[in-house]
Amino acid sequence: MNLVIDIGNSRIKLALFSERDLMFNVPLDEVKPEQVKVLLDEHDDLKHAIVSSVRDYPEELKSFLENNFENFIELNADTPVPLINCYETPETLGKDRLAAAVGATEIFPGRNVLVIDAGTAITYEMVTAENKYLGGNISPGLTTRFKALHHFTGKLPLVMPTDDFPILGTNTQSAIQAGVQIGLLFEVQQYIDYFNTNYENLEIIITGGDAKFFDNKLKNSIFVHFNLTLIGLNRILEYNVKKT
């Protein structure tokens, strides 16, 4: 069994996998060694662990993982991964972006896949049927766009997303809601159209906290998967365990 810990800027996800099968995952505010010990006591075959972190986390947790698992990986730019990484500066590539790309190869092996991760930022990652990660783009996410309009203008209010937005606003609030949300939908649709034109049999995966916003709003068939990063991290772990 595998322990996967994904430490983001604002939240932590902890998951258990039986080889490649996700057993469960939970969101946490923090992860302590005592919590991991409970899992070890409950699962005798829990032998491998991986941590992906975009911020510093307690040294005591790292030490506990190193000392209590047969294989422990702290994901970094030098960690071997089961795809060809064509990114020119792998040391600057976000761990979540890389893990999502690997997760795409796990869900759709041998396929061209466009991964759209909709969160604080919205990222676009392209993985080819030849198992090559070509790179991707970064754009402001849905909530970030609303906050930016409010922060960088003198009079525009802070408006939140809504499922009920018009094509054209008839007041300032609806004008912001329509402008931001329709603008983002147009952006995403243009990306999908471009890659559909240039890559045959393209699969599209949308993940991240705002993934539901796009469901049923795009003309293409999309696959919403909230655990894509966790699946990718587990795949990286499995890949390295088999190499040892």
Domains in the chain and their CATH numbers? 1-74 (3.30.420.40), 101-228 (3.30.420.40)
* pLDDT greater than 80 at residue 12: yes
* pLDDT greater than 90 at residue 11: no
* pLDDT greater than 80 at residue 168: yes
Q: What is the pLDDT of residues 138-153, one digit of tens each?
A: 999 999 999 999 999 9
Q: What is the pLDDT of residues 178-189, one digit of tens each?
A: 999 999 999 999
Cβ(87)–Cβ(211) under 8 Å?
no
Angle among Cα 93, 97, 99 to the nearest 5 degrees reads: 110
Residue positions annotated with a catalytic role: 96
Q: What's the confidence (pLDDT) of residue 136?
A: 97
Name 128's Cβ contacts closer than 8 Å, sequence gap at least 6: 112, 134, 199
Annotated binding-site residues read 6-13, 87, 94-97, 117, 120, 172
Q: What's the confidence (pLDDT) of residue 144?
A: 95
* pLDDT greater than 90 at residue 202: yes
* pLDDT greater than 90 at residue 216: no
Q: What is the pLDDT of residues 45-61, one digit of tens each?
A: 999 999 999 888 999 99
The DSSP code sequence of 109-142 is TTS-EEEEEESSEEEEEEE-TTSEEEEEEEEE-H
Amino acid residing at 168: L
pLDDT band, residue 244 (cuts 50/70/90): confident
* Listed residue (194, 214, 231) closest to 104, CA to CA: 231
Annotated binding-site residues for ATP read 6-13, 120
Amino acid residing at 8: G
